[in-house]
Structure 1
Amino acid sequence: MKKIFGLLVGIAATYLMLSCQNRTTEAKQVIKNDTLKVRKLKDTISIVAVGDMMLGSAFPSKLNLPPDDAIHSFKAVDTFLRGDIVFGNLEGCFLNSGNSSKCKGINPNNCYAFRMPDRYAGIFKTAGFNVLSVANNHVGDFNNKGRKNTAKILDSLQIHYAGQLDKPFDLFSIDSVKYAFVAFAPNENTVSIKNIDSAKLLVAELKKQADIVIVSFHGGGEGARFEHVTRKTEIFYNENRGNVYAFAHGVIDAGADVVLGHGPHVTRAVEVYKNKFIAYSLGNFCTYGMFSLRGPNGIAPLLQLKINSQGDFLYADVVSVKQDKISRLTVDDSGAAFQKMKTLTDMDFKGHGLKFENNRISLDEKQ
């Protein structure tokens, strides 16, 4: 474990050193040209965020791919996937062939290993996604081959991503706003959610480099029994899935502006802590094949979050979506995910100071 953390710190230091060097060079050039100006950030930054996405796996056979070859996966919601940042969790790798070592000795049809065909990556790009988490338990289903191929394809499409040990974070600019994106999980080869002190150190360093720091985590138990934020370490199948409450608060204390959670496959509560927004789980957003879509697993929020240039929460509009095996991803006019989010927030964070009204989450000025 110490070796992993040492590797992480070393990687982070290298990334940050190179970034500092580049920025120093840029600054010198600006001064040399006598064009030094104060950057004016956007008054309002728009972040669209969704949960788990896996559009269909060609393993163990092509029978697990959708009839339309996933082309229309986001058709029902594509008008909502517009923002400065459009984020989701990539729950699987891109790889055209290969077997998974995790399925040795068991029937592949009963093994949860996901590899999307390479061509599916373009579907995410076309839909509008520009930031993806690769910190989860399925990006490594096909080992280093799958991880490397996924990174290569995302790089080619200029989609920002982070969360594996060889790329714990990404630094980039959009419309003159400097972003840092960093992703955590409790799984092998990911930046650990379980070591909160290390996470805080990394976030604090990133905050020195960026205007807005976005943190993603894959954590917590899975399914309807794990809808609540317990504020304790969550154990699922004898695995430590992290204390997501302590983690989220810790990284905000260190400088994070937004925390976006996923992993439980169900919608969880939200919170505003120190004026920063936390979504504790964004559920199953667009998942095809072996995923359970029963009950709360079949509904999810599409979050349209607005923050100011200091990263403080302004409001969030919620588009409720639902999935089933036949209709797949559709907008849910009943607003079930929004109502679930409200109910769980009322239960888990009494006195939360938020108002849930007309599919909008805002600060309750009366409190």
Structure 2
Amino acid sequence: MFRLLLTLTIWAGHSLTCLSASLTIALTGDIMMGTTYPTPRLPRGDGKYLFRDTRDILRQADLAVGNLEGTLCDKGETRKEGKANNYAFRTPTSYAWWLKDAGYDFVSMANNHSFDFGIEGVISTEHALRQQGIAFAGIAGRSETAVVMRQGVRIGLCALGHNSYTVSHLDLKKVGKLLKQLRQQCDIIIVSFHGGAEGTAQSHVPNGMEGFLGERRGALRQLAHYCIDHGADVVYGHGPHVVRGIEVYKGRFIAYSLGNFCTPFGISLQGVSGYAPIVTVTIDHKGRFQKGRIYSFIQSYGAGPRKQDGKRFLVAHQMKALSETDFPHSDAWIDLRGNIGLIRYTRRSLTTI
């Protein structure tokens, strides 16, 4: 938790703040709690039990963030009708309460399902989130950034996608401009991105541009490093529907994909597609990574993320293996229980902290 040592109010109404200690952020992947389109597929208890195993972790963080895959709306017809390889998600607006109750403070809308029900669905989603006090970002020209205050600390967030209606991560010039604006206003910057090829064969992060169904889905190593080079402190991704590795780059944390977190219907949950981690990241007052942890949860059809006997560290093991293979030069290590720490190099030795 951030603890403020000193806050001086100045004439412009802003604060000059000296900070100590740390800030903990809980990161998750895709959230689609259920859909009423084309026929109702909703969880037991109308959503009451979705986050029962994860609520405590999300609530204890200073900030909990994820990706809202789909819309929060109660009516309307999809614009995707009749198109191949398309799914449309329409979650009841009342389910915004379950996001709040779960502990979420911010969700990304920069994904390929935010416009499943057109601009009416976007407006409905924004209204439902505002009613619960949940911040959001990601739709170009509407909600490109958000700012959240925590104990006097101004945290800027932006969400990037690959669709025409999102703040596109394919346009690095635009991304750089947003980050510059946030850096002028905020103490800490967090970037969410939706990108990468989809499917169980896409667990590794390739070099260069990724594609899926004829779409350019981003050069994600380049994107993540660009964001940190231009002021971001934490970068987290989603979109492939599987988990990927993590990296600490220039002292800042990157998670390349956090997979499916709470997607009980409409998305395959077989094998690694059902891996649903929470990654907590502790940073100092300058955004530098201090430590983290991977909490391993598994999904099955009709339920949210669950603890499973005998699989307490299964997701952490997967992310550890992917991280070591894909990012051998990262400054982070992961142990078999999912703890993440920093590697410190010296001239004579390598030590971990």
TM-score by length of 2: 0.90
Whichever residue aligns with residue 299 of structure 2, its letter is: Q
How far did residue 351 of structure 1 move?
3.0
Match of 2:64 among 86, 90, 115: 86
- Note the 1:198-209 alignment, pairs <5 A: 198-209=174-185
Q: Distance in 2 between matches of 1:326 and 1:115?
A: 16
Q: Distance in 2 between matches of 1:91 and 1:364?
A: 35
How far did residue 37 of structure 1 move?
6.7
Whichever residue aligns with residue 239 of structure 1, its letter is: E
Contact 1:137–1:188 (CA<8 Å) still a contact in 2?
A: no
Map of 1:41 onto structure 2: 19
Contact 2:239–2:259 (CA<8 Å) still a contact in 1?
A: yes
Say if 2:31 is the partner of 1:56. Answer: no
Match of 1:363 among 334, 342, 349: 342
Q: Which SS does the other structure have where 1:28 is aligned?
A: coil
Match of 2:77 among 99, 115, 122: 99
Contact 2:192–2:235 (CA<8 Å) still a contact in 1?
A: yes
How far did residue 115 of structure 1 move?
0.8
Q: Distance in 2 between matches of 1:130 and 1:330?
A: 21
Map of 2:294 onto structure 1: 318
Q: Which SS does the other structure have where 1:322 is aligned?
A: coil
How far did residue 29 of structure 1 move?
4.8
User: Cα 1:95–1:327, aligned 2, differ >3 Å: closer, same or farther?
Assistant: closer
Match of 1:159 among 123, 134, 146: 134
Q: Which SS does the other structure have where 2:47 is aligned?
A: coil
Map of 2:259 onto structure 1: 283
How far did residue 328 of structure 1 move?
4.2
Q: Distance in 2 between matches of 1:270 and 1:320?
A: 15
Map of 1:66 onto structure 2: 43
Whichever residue aligns with residue 203 of structure 1, its letter is: L
Deviations 1:223-271 (A, max 9, x none): 1111111121001111100111111100111000000101111000101
How far did residue 154 of structure 1 move?
1.2
Match of 2:313 among 314, 335, 342: 335
Q: Distance in 2 between matches of 1:37 and 1:46?
A: 22
How far did residue 27 of structure 1 move?
4.7
Contact 1:335–1:359 (CA<8 Å) still a contact in 2?
A: yes
Greater Cα shift, 67-76 or 237-246 = 67-76
User: Cα 1:334–1:118, aligned 2, differ >3 Å: closer, same or farther?
Assistant: same
Contact 1:266–1:281 (CA<8 Å) still a contact in 2?
A: yes
Match of 2:97 among 108, 119, 122: 122
Say if 2:52 is the partner of 1:75. Answer: yes
Whichever residue aligns with residue 101 of structure 1, its letter is: R
Greater Cα shift, 129-138 or 40-49 = 40-49
Map of 2:11 onto structure 1: 28
Q: Which SS does the other structure have where 1:113 is aligned?
A: coil
Q: Distance in 2 between matches of 1:215 and 1:105?
A: 31
How far did residue 294 of structure 1 move?
1.0
Q: Which SS does the other structure have where 2:277 is aligned?
A: strand
Q: Which SS does the other structure have where 2:65 is aligned?
A: strand
Contact 2:261–2:304 (CA<8 Å) still a contact in 1?
A: no
TM-score by length of 1: 0.87
Q: Which SS does the other structure have where 2:227 is aligned?
A: helix
How far did residue 318 of structure 1 move?
1.1
Match of 2:111 among 127, 136, 141: 136
Contact 1:233–1:240 (CA<8 Å) still a contact in 2?
A: yes
How far did residue 111 of structure 1 move?
4.9
Q: Which SS does the other structure have where 1:246 is aligned?
A: helix
Q: Distance in 2 between matches of 1:337 and 1:196?
A: 32
Q: Which SS does the other structure have where 1:316 is aligned?
A: strand
Contact 2:262–2:276 (CA<8 Å) still a contact in 1?
A: no
Q: Which SS does the other structure have where 1:39 is aligned?
A: strand
Map of 1:345 onto structure 2: 323
Q: Distance in 1 between matches of 2:212 and 2:148?
A: 35
RMSD value over aligned CA atoms?
1.7
User: Cα 1:290–1:38, aligned 2, differ >3 Å: closer, same or farther?
Assistant: closer
Q: Distance in 1 between matches of 2:86 and 2:246?
A: 32
Say if 2:198 is the partner of 1:219. Answer: no
Over the matched positions of the two proteins, sequence identity in percent amounts to: 36
- Note the 1:172-191 alignment, pairs <5 A: 172-191=148-167
Greater Cα shift, 330-339 or 164-173 = 330-339
Contact 1:319–1:331 (CA<8 Å) still a contact in 2?
A: no
Contact 2:251–2:331 (CA<8 Å) still a contact in 1?
A: no
How far did residue 364 of structure 1 move?
2.2
Q: Distance in 2 between matches of 1:253 and 1:168?
A: 20
Contact 2:10–2:16 (CA<8 Å) still a contact in 1?
A: no
Say if 2:186 is the partner of 1:210. Answer: yes
Map of 2:220 onto structure 1: 244
More helix, by proportion: 1
Contact 1:183–1:191 (CA<8 Å) still a contact in 2?
A: yes
Q: Distance in 2 between matches of 1:92 and 1:162?
A: 14
Deviations 1:122-153 (A, max 9, x none): 00001110111011011110010000111111
User: Cα 1:214–1:66, aligned 2, differ >3 Å: closer, same or farther?
Assistant: same
User: Cα 1:362–1:162, aligned 2, differ >3 Å: closer, same or farther?
Assistant: same
Structure 1 gaps of 5+ residues are: 1-25, 31-35
Q: Which SS does the other structure have where 2:98 is aligned?
A: helix
Contact 1:41–1:176 (CA<8 Å) still a contact in 2?
A: no
Structure 2 gaps of 5+ residues are: 1-8, 345-349
Contact 2:197–2:211 (CA<8 Å) still a contact in 1?
A: yes
How far did residue 67 of structure 1 move?
2.8
